[in-house]
Amino acid sequence: MTHGACGNGYKEADLTRELVENLTKKLKQYATVDIYNKNRNAFYDCQNGTFKIGKYNYVLEIHFNASANGKGHGSECFVTTKEAGITVEQAIMKNMSKFFTLRDNDSIFDGVKRTNFLVINTVKSNGISGALLETCFIDNKDDMNIYQKNKEKIAQAICDGIVSGFGLKKNSTSTNNAQTTSKPETNTNKTIKAGDKVKVLKAVQYNNQPFICYYKEYDVIEVKCDRAVIGKGKAVTCAINIKNIQKI
């Protein structure tokens, strides 16, 4: 692993490892979490064709940003153009907005952008959802002051975004863990995708809270692993485990 960007006396590699370790400790209360080999560089591995990954539900690539003139500031998150849903990333960035200005480039100002960066694009090509988080700018003094004063809270904010986005429960032993692969109960459900029409088999949200089922059929708005977001048109009803819905 190279040291990456530098600024204000800090190296990106050191900050990233610290944040990843803090996040891992917090997220392990909810999910199975693995850290990419610290002696390797995922970017170079993808370039060289030596990148290997197991069966995971989600991958989060963490960075600290830098600008050419030192005037860049704020936090942003990237997903690939192949990613159907971004509710997990939006949840993360909503929490990050408590600390940093969100950087965006579209009409939905949520801090989430679409760019096919090498690692997350390779991950997506392996059928795994993922995102790249640029925590803040290492070469911006104000950003780094905020980070250093709130590093534990920021790690918790990222954790909370993942937990709420996936509907995880503390110390859960279910297959809803963020880093394990969940298998639908029927072959039909394996093919559920955004745009499908489904009927609800069991009116229980992804977080195991009940909801009132008003319609005979719902639209699938997005799918991530065993988690689907359903509603009518663009109006969201809830997130639900795909084992509790059936394609019509």
CATH number at 139 reads 3.40.630.40
* pTM flag (> 0.95): no
Here the CATH number for the domain that contains residue 199 is 2.30.30
Structure confidence by residue, pLDDT tens digits, 144-170: 999 999 999 999 999 999 999 888 888
CA distance 90 to 161: 8
Dist CA 176 CA 165 (whole Å): 11
Phi first, then psi, for residue 219 (nearest 5°) are: -90, 140
Kindly report each contact of residues 38-43 with a partner whose C-beta sits within 8 Å and lies 24 or more positions away, as own/partner. 38/1, 39/1, 40/1, 41/1, 41/2, 42/119, 43/118, 43/119
56-83, pLDDT tens digit by residue? 989 999 999 999 888 899 999 999 999 8
Looking at the 3D structure of the chain, how many domains does it have? 2
3-state helix, strand, coil in the chain (%, to 5): 30, 25, 45
| Structural domain span for residue 232 | 188-247
Q: Are residues 122 and 196 in the same domain?
A: no
The DSSP code for 109 is: -
User: How many other C-beta atoms can be found within 10 angstroms of the C-beta atom of residue 232?
Assistant: 13
